Amino acid sequence: MDNGETGIDLTPRTNQQSATSKWIPALVVLVIALAVVGLIWFLATNSQSFLEADKAVIEREELGDKRFQLLGSPTTNAGSEQTFVIGEDEYTLFSIVFDGVYVDVVSQGAPPDLFDQGIPVVLEGNWEEGPIPVNGYFFPNGANDGWWFATDRILVKHDNDYREDRVDDAENRGQLE
Amino acid sequence: MITTVGPFNATSSRSTRFLGLCLLLGIPALILFAFIFSPEDDSMEDAVRLLYIHVPVAIFSYIAFGVTAVGSICYLWKRSRWWDTTAHASAEIGVMFCGLTLVTGSIWGRPTWNTWWEWGDVRLVTTLVMFLMFIGYLALRQVPASPEARAKRAAIVGIIGTINIPIVNRSVEWWENSTLHQQSSLTDGNLENLTLFTWFLGTLVIGITYLWLLIHRFRVGWLETEEERLGYGAAIEERQAEAHGLDVGSTGIPEEGENE
């Protein structure tokens, strides 16, 4: 059918639903279902990604040089007396504690702004045994047992207390004595 | 022109104008309390001010997706266009709020946690999955189909997507050692004085924003489906007229005002 004045084809359209439009809804539902399955799998396999310092000490031999995330609270802040430059590398030395078990830490680079005594941190790195890069250093409030945790990434696990007279979260969680 | 189609002559009404007026007063008040009157945190300093927007938009993204689930269930039960339109409108606002939650959370994370994003963090990843699920919901609604088929498919996805809400919300308790995210400050009683008041004000303002947007988006959605329905009706009339050899005019679509 043709409109004589405009030349527009006014022939009634047939059903133009393409083959692709039929499988797109099924695909979207499938993707969402896969996302649910993937989410459950992720949650089931990552339920203990941070290893507390006390458990990490117990599992030290098994862990070997495997990289993992270590949880604990710094026993000191990171002042200039704990920062050393050796060659082109900057190291910060401190200790963390969880449930009364101490771990000495050698961190490459400067710690984040919120790093402070008692505020829990998650450290990414691995166990090392033997002398630390700074010869003769003694960790105040540390383990000093010849093992140390080498890290190049410090994340701060901040608490949820915004009161002015807050009780230190680390004390609540038994991470500080 | 669609302004005379259906029960609404415009998307605004006395109630939405009242809500809009509340927002005109509430938003400047929230800015004043969030940036000037409320104190900074001892350790987080000014980063704490993100609390007044991040937490409310997160809460209202849960509520918005919850409303989508309720609308989806009610649509499958009643087959009512009203519920489908409500579910759609709420999902759009929920996606916007969820996106804001992710962005403000990331801005919070950099100074607080020392990272913009952690792929191994359960709270962050479950929130991202929830965001993507409802992006999928909105994408599904754009796939060409009859209004009934589209509403039915969307309702199923809307219900599936909502399964994730309790997982997101409870993840910080269920997987405490897999997330940097803190637990709820409100339920633990760790907000007080002006910090608590400003948080409540932020929640109120975001809540009114949600309601205001929901009503407007619902009415726009209703007008869209009404126009679509009338378009279908006109097309059917045209085909029937052609079958009977009748003249239906140049377009076959009723002129403005004919549908009232």
Give yes or no: residues A144 and A84 share one domain.
yes
Is A4 among the domain residues? no
User: What is the band of B13 on the pLDDT scale with cuts at 50, 70, 90?
Assistant: confident
Residue of B114, B160, B181 to mutate for A, most A C-beta atoms under 10 A = B114
Distance from CA of B114 to the nearest CA of A (A): 5
For residues B137 and B190, the model is more confident at B137
pLDDT at B8: 54
Whether A110 is covered by a domain: the verdict is yes
Residues A167 and A97 in one domain: yes
Residues A115 and A152 grouped into a single domain: yes
Mean of the pLDDT values across residues A31-40?
Answer: 76
Mean pLDDT of A96-108: 92
Clarify whether residues A78 and A149 are in a common domain.
yes
Instruction: At B230, list the tokens.
Output: 């009338």
DSSP result, B146-188 = -HHHHHHHHHHHHHHHHTHHHHHHHHHHHTGGG------TTTT
DSSP state of B232: H
Q: Does A85 touch chain B (CB under 8 A)?
A: no
> Where do the domains of chain B lie?
14-40+49-243
A30 has a chain B CB within 8 A of its CB: no
Is the CB of A79 inside 8 Å of chain B's CB atoms? no
Q: Which residues of B touch A163 (CB under 8 A)?
A: 190-192
d(CA B151, CA B146): 9
Q: Which domain holds residue A25?
A: 17-47
Residue with tokens 């009242």: B18
Question: Could you tell me if B7 lies within 8 Å of chain A, comparing CB atoms?
Answer: no
Rounded mean pLDDT, B230-255: 65
Same domain? For A124 and A93 the reply is yes
What would the pLDDT profile of B118-177 be if each residue is shown by its tens digit?
Answer: 888 889 989 998 999 999 999 999 888 888 889 999 999 999 888 889 999 988 888 888
**Nearest Cβ partner for B43 among A25, A38, A116:** A116
Is the sign of the CA dihedral A8, A14, A18, A24 positive or negative? Answer: positive
DSSP annotation of B35 reads: I
Per the domain annotation, does A11 fall within a domain?
no
- Co-location of A129 and A73 in the same domain: yes
Report yes or no on A6 lying in a domain: no
The residue behind tokens 């045994």 is A129
Domain CATH code at residue A142: 2.40.50.140
Inter-chain touch A156–B145, beta carbons under 8 Å: no
B169 — contact with chain A (CB < 8 Å)?
Answer: no
Does A139 lie in the same domain as A76?
yes
Is B254 a residue whose pLDDT tops 50? no
The answer to whether residues A98 and A25 belong to one domain is no
A9 falls within a domain: no
**Residue B3 tokens, joined:** 């302004």
Across the range B53-66, mean pLDDT stands at 96
> Closest Cα to residue B192, out of A159, A166, A172, A114?
A166
Q: Rank A163-167, B208-212, B224-228, B237-241 by mean pLDDT and report only the highest.
A: B208-212
Q: Which of A31, A46, A158 has the CB atom closest to B112's CB atom?
A: A158
Whether A72 and A113 map to the same domain: the answer is yes
| Cα–Cα distance list, A39 to A34, A84, B94 (Å) | 8, 43, 20
Do A140 and A125 belong to one domain?
A: yes
Residue A113 and residue A149 in one domain: yes
3-state helix, strand, coil in chain B (%, to 5): 75, 0, 25
Decide if the complex's ipTM is over 0.90.
no
Q: Is the domain of A72 the same as that of A144? A: yes
Across residues B196-200, what is the average pLDDT?
92
